[in-house]
Each structure stands twice: as structure tokens, then as C-alpha cells.
Structure 1
Amino acid sequence: MEHTVTALPAERRPGCPFDPPAELVDAREHGPISRYVFPDGHRGWLVTGYDLVRAVLADPRFSSRKEFMLHHPFIDYSGMEAPPASPGEFILMDDPQHSRYRKPLMGKFTVRRMRLLTERIEQITAERLDAMEKAGPPTDLVTAFAKPIPAIVICELLGVPYEDRGSFQGHIDSFLNGETDDETLIAAYTAVQNYLAELVAAKRAAPTDDVLSDLADSDLTDEELRGMSLILLAAGLDTTANMLALGTFALLRNPGQLAALRADPALTDRAVEELLRYLSVAKMFMRTALEDVELGGRTIEAGTTVVLSNHTANRDPERFTDPYVLDLRREEGGHVAFGHGVHQCLGQQLARVEMRVAFPALFDRFPTLRLAVPAEEVALRPEVADIFGVKSLPVTWDA
């Protein structure tokens, strides 16, 4: 019998902030693919199994194009039309348009280039820890540590002047947090677009040593450069910031695993991969079938939208042993936290380097770090936000 899901959750289960919501777990237990009825009545599909999520992400018959995303898993957009992606918004495009924008960036985010950034990331991290130590406990780890590190790194990569970063980060936060009202969201988006237009013009006139200046020396238009910059800023800031905060929360709630990480620095790389799998902050993707496709014994008809649950895929018991256990020594790799296929996250190596530096440095500097409030009182971002995480993480330590 075909399992049908009629609503996705508005929040996580109390006391289980790291686990997928109950509705998704239940769907996965019924099988790797379920019917999903979108809020606007569209009958699509919900894919919760690891193998099928990877299959869809790797299949060019499933489109990422913005104009095909007519249905939202949480919001009723009845009567509205989805416009095509703006120039440069390559994550919302298919090939060949997608590759045209992605290829010039690939050389900027290689493993080697990101490793060369390690020393600078170590310096930024140390500066944030110095500031925390000077201010003393308690503090909100989100604003004191988790957000500033990726914000400074991505702004430096793109060449955003230091004096502009505070207001710029505030505008980015406003349209990513999932709670901003429409008027504020539009104002923030407009402010970012206007700023990026000025930044692109400045880079064309006087190039500096940064990614945006390199891109400006090409046949890309100003509008395309703005779109690409916005994608890089949003992705490079929000996902890593939430991984740093939520990852710290998860480690503090699993003291045995934290002790293992402190005792064995060589465990860091594996620990980062396990936290990526366990938390899956980029929890969902969507794709639309361009033609009829057989998937998991079902026929996905052309024009049908498919919701991909990364979180349940990364907790699939058919792929991972004891998937609900945080195990920093886990040897099984292959998570889909960064996606899969041609749209796999371009900045994944940068995110890994930031986490490999930040987590050990934080716990080395503050060995008595702990939550300053009961775990149940830590405020979570709403499920409607594209990226899951915590709104704030109050922590303290022995000064």
C-alpha cells in the first residue's frame, strides 16, 4: 500500500533537536519513497532513503530549475508563478547554464586552495576565541563564534571591505533565518543586491586579490556576477555557521564523544564528517521530473516535484550502522550532507577546513565549556528555514 504524507513538520520533537522530525522518520519506516501532498494540493513525492536520494541528485532527468519549483513543501503558493533563476543563480539552473557559471568557480574552491587558507582561518578563529575570553562567560556562541568565522572568511574571499561586513551580514541573516516578515525580507534582499552592484563595479575599476576580482576579469556581466556572489555568500555563511553552532551543541550533549575528540586530535577529520552526517543542516532539496522516471518501483510523472530528505537519507539504517548514534570513530562515509551529483556543494572543502580548525580550537581554549541553559531551552531555527540550526546557543565556562 502506498504511504502518503500530507504535511511536513513545523518543529522537531521535544528533547530530540538533532534527529529528523517524527513525520519523516515514520515515512522512512514505510519505505524509501512516499507520496507527498503539497500545501497547494500538488501530488508529488517524498524521498527519504539514502540510495534513492543519491539517485535523484545524480539523474539529469530531474531538474533544479527555479521556474519548475512551483510547489513548496511548507508554503501554499497557489496562483503564483515561479520566475526563472536570475543571471548567476547557478544552483537553480540545469546544464549547460549551470556549468557555465560553476566552472569558473571550481578552481577557486579546490582542496589544495582551501588548505592554503588554513593559516588564515586559524588566525580568525583565534581572534574570536580571544574576544570570547576577554569578554568572559556566559556568551551566545552563535554571535560570538559560529557566525563570525565563516562570515569573515567568505567576505575576505569575495573582497568585501572590512568596514562593510557587519551591516552586510545582518542583511544576509534577514533573508535566511526563515522568520523575517515579507517587508523586511524584501528590504534586506534589495540592500544586498544594491551593495553587490557597487562591489562589482569597484572590482572592475580596481581589482584586488579576491575571487570576485578574478571573476570580474571575464565575459560575465555585472548582473551575473551579482547573482553568483549572492549564492556564494549565502551558502558560505549560513551553512557553516549553523554547523559550528549545532555541532558544538551536539558535542556538549554527547560528552563521551567530545572526550574522545579532545583525547585524539587525529580524530578531527572523521569527527567533522560524522557531524555533517548526523546533523544534516541542509535538510532538504527539491527536484522536478522533466520526463516520466521510474524510481523505487514508482513512476514519477513529468512535471512532478520531488522533495529529497537529506536528513533521513543520512540516518538510513540500510546505509549506516546505528544511524541515530553520534559516533566520531565511524568509518562509513558517503553522506549526502553536501548533496550529490553536479550540484554537490561547491564550497564543501572550505566548510570542512573551517570546522576542522574551529571545533578543536574552541574546546582546547575552553575545556570546561558547557551549556548555560537547559538543553530543552535552546531555541531552534524553524523547520521552514532552508538551513537547520539554533537561533542562539548560550554557553559558559570556568573563567
Structure 2
Amino acid sequence: MSEITAESVPEFPILRTCPFSVPETYRELEGTGGRIHRVRMSDGRPAWLVTKHDDARAVLSDARFSSEKLRPGFPELSPGGLKALTYFSPFLVNMDGPEHAQARRAVLGEFSVRRINAMRPRIRRIVDAAIDRMLEQPGRPVDLAAHLSQPVPTLVLSAFLGVPAEDLDAIERNTGKMLHEARTEDEQRAAAEALHAHLDLVIAAKEENPGDDFLSRQIDRSRREHGDAADRFELASLVQLLQIAGHASSAAMISLSVLTLLSEPEQLKQLTADPSRTPAAAEELLRFLSITDTGPLRLALEDVEIGGVRIRAGDGVLIPTLPANRDAGAFPDPDRFDIGRLPGTRHVAFGYGAHQCLGQNLVRAELQVVLDRLFHRIPDLRLATAPEALPYKYFGQFFGPVELPVTW
């Protein structure tokens, strides 16, 4: 094992190459004995890296660490990356304190367990239709990523938002151009303007034809708060946020979850023998996979001691979820996938504290329905390619297989 020295401070993010393993750099940092570590951002600035589960929860629940990304000194994953935020409303993602709490309350009821549970029959129909299309394919292997993992989150989000799936696909493409393809500020601005123009059309169409859906109710809320005219800028930012958070992450999570279970036949056997274990299996998959290598970022607003380290006001703090969810101090034998692990919900896959993922109940429901229906309807499903031979990539910030060939 190589040694971490002051001259070889790791650059963040620390990326994985295997879907099941924690990058070796984290183990090397753990071997130094500290709980909080210095790393280097892509622009050369230093930041603090939090890898322990308890420390992660402490930072994420402490109002002395800001989530307001446009504050001077906020850690930036890529040069110019935060500039994109200036083209959107600060609603939710660029807020702290009472302002954030008020904005969150305005939409929190939409993601309640009761409302999401009411969607489960529709999610089941969407998943069953996707499985039908898999079964109808003329040859095998079939790419599960293309036929299940990619379309299901789009269609579920479409049903939830009340926005046509083709519009969500276009929003995702335009967001990708703005965040990942634009090479200059002018290109980024042009991509943002095109994205806003499309979102404006989506909202206008919903104003003309409201329904029993998230966007219609948010338009009504916005009209009550702002007078007769809804705040389309805020609404556009909210739809775009949910598309970013709700598609690529769920698609990667579905693919990696199926891959994990097909690679763990004893665990899969336990699950199929007792489908009531599906919620626990989903929680363990969320912990074990932790599909992003960035996780929440924070800025210290004042001096704070975490994990025996004095973090100064103005310091950037990084909380990747993967090492926190593989912390032996919180999860015995953390690198073992075990659907019987209790309590399963202590993981930080959705973050923690005031800014934890709004849509976590929707993600859970979607994943649970996929696991339940897929292995019930295709009980002899198996991998057509070894996990180590599959191509992987980052879909934005989310790691997953490019394709997932399966057969039965």
C-alpha cells in the first residue's frame, strides 16, 4: 500500500473504478490515523475531507456549515462549475437557514410517504411495461440498462411531475450541454437560455392544461405567493433540479442494484424467497453502492471542531457518501453486502440533516418496485457479461454501467 504524505495530498473527487469497492485512496487515508483529511480541489485549493459516518452526520446537521453554493470560497468540483447556478433561481439548492426551511416546506408534502405510496400502482405499471418490452426482445442478451434502468426513472418522473417524458429527455440533454459540454461562459449562457426557453414552454402548457400532479400544484402555490402570475423562473429551476436529481441517479442505482444482486446469488435467493425483505434490500443497496463520489459539499461559516480537527471559517468541507457508508465504526463488516443488515436506514446515501434529499421516498419506492417485479417476473435472470468486463462511466456525478447485458 502506498503512503499518503504531505507532498501527495489526494485530489478530489476520488473516483472509483469498481462498482463494489471503495477506492484504495480512502483506505490509505484511513491508515494515516486521522478522521478528517486534507485534499486538493481541481482548482488547486485545499479542502477538508470527511470520511467517518458520525462526522459526516455531524457536519450535515450543523448550521455552521453552509450549503449556499454561491458564497465566496464554496468548494468547486470543476472550474466554472458553480457559474451555472447563476442562471437559475436559488430555490432550495442555494439556500440556508429559515429561507431554505420555508422553501422546503412549500414542496415537502409532495414527497410524503403517503403521496408516494399512492403512486406505487402507477410505478408498478411503468415497471411491468418495461419488463414486457424486455421479454419481447427478439434475441438475447438484452441490455437491461437501455430497456429498464434508463426509461423507468424518466416515466416515473413524468408521472410525478405531470410533464411529458419527451420534454424531460430534452431538459436532460440541454442540462448536459450547460453543465458538461459548454467550454466557455458564452456557450454555457447560450445553453442555459435554450434550457429556460424549453422549460418556459413546459410550464406554459401546464398552466393551460393543469392536472393532478406536482407541477400543477406548484403553479397554484406560486400564484398564491406571487399574485396572479406564477414565478416561472422559480418553477423552471425546480423542474430542472428534479430532473437532474431524479433521472441519472435512479438509472445508475437500478443498474448497479441489479448487477449487485446478480453477483450475490445467496443474497438474491434470500430476497426472492421472502419478498417482504425488499425494503431492507433496497436500503442495503443504497448504503453499499453510494453511487456518487462527490456527495454533499459545505463551507464553514465559523471555526468548528469536527473529528478532532479545527476547521476554520471559510474552509471548504467535502462529505462523500461512499466512505461514510463503508465506515466500520457504523457498519460492522462494511464491505460485505448483506440485506439482513440492521438498522438499514442509518446510511447517508440521501445526505442528512436539513438538506437531505427531498425525493428519497420516490427513489425508494421506485427501487423497491423494480426489485420486486423484476425478480418475480424473470426469476432465472442472470448476467450475460462478468461485472469486471462491463463498461462503466459517470453520468454527471453518478457512477454506473454503460450497458448491462442480461439473459434468462
Q: State the TM-score, normalizing by the size of structure 1.
A: 0.89
Report matched runs for 1:1-399 at 5 Å: 5-8=9-12, 11-13=15-17, 16-30=18-32, 31-68=34-71, 70=73, 75-76=78-79, 86-136=88-138, 137-162=140-165, 164-171=167-174, 180=181, 182=183, 189-218=192-221, 219=225, 221-283=231-293, 284-333=295-344, 334-382=346-394, 385-397=396-408
CA distance in 1: counterparts of 2:210 and 2:48, whole angstroms: 47
**Compared with structure 1, are the counterparts of its residues 28 and 186 closer, same or farther at alpha carbon in structure 2 (3 Å cutoff)?**
farther
Contact 2:19–2:256 (8 Å) recurs in 1 = no
**Compared with structure 1, are the counterparts of its residues 330 and 185 closer, same or farther at alpha carbon in structure 2 (3 Å cutoff)?**
farther
Q: State the TM-score, normalizing by the size of structure 2.
A: 0.87
Shift of 1:69: 7.0
Matched letter for residue 16 of structure 2? R
Contact 2:48–2:316 (8 Å) recurs in 1 = yes
CA distance in 1: counterparts of 2:194 and 2:389, whole angstroms: 33
Q: Indicate the SS of the match to 2:268.
A: helix
Shift of 1:210: 1.1
Contact 1:63–1:290 (8 Å) recurs in 2 = yes
Matched letter for residue 357 of structure 1? V
Q: Per-residue displacement from partner, 1:180-213 (whole Å, max 9, x unpaired)?
A: 4648977765443222111112223332221111
- State the superposition RMSD in angstroms: 2.6
CA distance in 2: counterparts of 1:38 and 1:162, whole angstroms: 36
Contact 2:144–2:404 (8 Å) recurs in 1 = yes
Contact 1:292–1:301 (8 Å) recurs in 2 = yes
Q: Indicate the SS of the match to 2:110.
A: coil
Q: Indicate the SS of the match to 1:327.
A: coil
Q: Which runs of 5+ in 1 are unaligned?
A: none
Shift of 1:117: 0.7
Q: Per-residue displacement from partner, 1:105-147 (whole Å, max 9, x unpaired)?
A: 1111100111111111110010000011011422221221012
Matched letter for residue 376 of structure 1? E
**Compared with structure 1, are the counterparts of its residues 164 and 307 closer, same or farther at alpha carbon in structure 2 (3 Å cutoff)?**
closer
Contact 1:70–1:81 (8 Å) recurs in 2 = no
Contact 1:320–1:332 (8 Å) recurs in 2 = no
Tell me which protein shows more helix as a share of its residues: 2
Contact 2:384–2:405 (8 Å) recurs in 1 = yes
CA distance in 2: counterparts of 1:252 and 1:35, whole angstroms: 37
CA distance in 2: counterparts of 1:319 and 1:3, whole angstroms: 27
Matched letter for residue 349 of structure 1? N
Matched letter for residue 301 of structure 1? R
Q: How many residues align?
A: 390
Shift of 1:72: 5.2
CA distance in 1: counterparts of 2:195 and 2:189, whole angstroms: 10
Overall identity of the aligned pairs, in %: 38
CA distance in 1: counterparts of 2:26 and 2:118, whole angstroms: 40
CA distance in 2: counterparts of 1:311 and 1:256, whole angstroms: 24
Shift of 1:348: 0.6
Contact 1:293–1:301 (8 Å) recurs in 2 = yes
